Structure 1
């Protein structure tokens, strides 16, 4: 962490090399790196519930869901860590590429107080330039709410859908799978969610 604070500008190569050994994950934006805060139990439950549900339903396809530790290459100046990624690409043996997704079909962020503005505006703005991305999903952790922004092809207007009923089914057309809100909110305790979410801001 001392090195991260001491350096004022990082090349992409320096960032990628540092990230391999750092105990703390960092996102990279235009030469700057930003340490990622720890997440709450509810945040983890939601992301893992979704990743597990998607992987169970993606068996036999070329698509796979990853949670937390895979970076997304957004452009030469930006690397982000979404909470969940669905990528439909061949597995590679290249060590560096095993930590990076360059062609995601679906990106998911679980919202917390410290990341809400970034997830809703900054990341969404940058993600929309990814040619492969078809659906961007935002999930609240303090109440039932899933927002899906989708478009059928690059250049088309993004359409927004909001789901708030636990029994509702969310369909991800780009990978042809669906899940209910009840599935991804399993074991989530809303009474503790606001307190947990506040801790993410520390």
Structure 2
């Protein structure tokens, strides 16, 4: 079978998502990619090199999807669709409901510097994507949000991460309700950043 790099990265993504970096042994990788050890090392250097490629692609995919949300004619509607699609995936692969970046953070101390940096860059890329969405919702003609855009983008990313973790075991009905609540809160009042402490 002719080697297909994208297929190999996709197979590795599914494997690391399911088993984590530490849990995925070289035998698992060989089976998932249908490649001999020599070919894996030649193309990716080592297990961590493959993992880094997976994380980079995963983060870029998320950032690109959020950019598409920000450019949508109705970004709030597109944002809800994004949340629903990312958080309520197929029940037979519930492990994919959790963010791969967050799952990987649990193994952060056991990773090499390249993999660690890929995860941190990935979190920054997601923040950038959420920032684009917040900027679109804050600007005309939408004018739905008023507040510090970076702060709101961080909050939105944190809600996303939390929902994806919850969705591993919670019902879709509960998750959809929380998504709707999140969107309502997003349009609500945002306190000023670094407010002075009360004199009381």
Highest Rg: 1 or 2?
A: 2
| Structure-2-length-normalised TM-score | 0.22
Instruction: Give 1 or 2: higher helix fraction.
Output: 2
| Structure-1-length-normalised TM-score | 0.22
Report which structure shows greater RCO (CA 8 Å, sep ≥6): 2
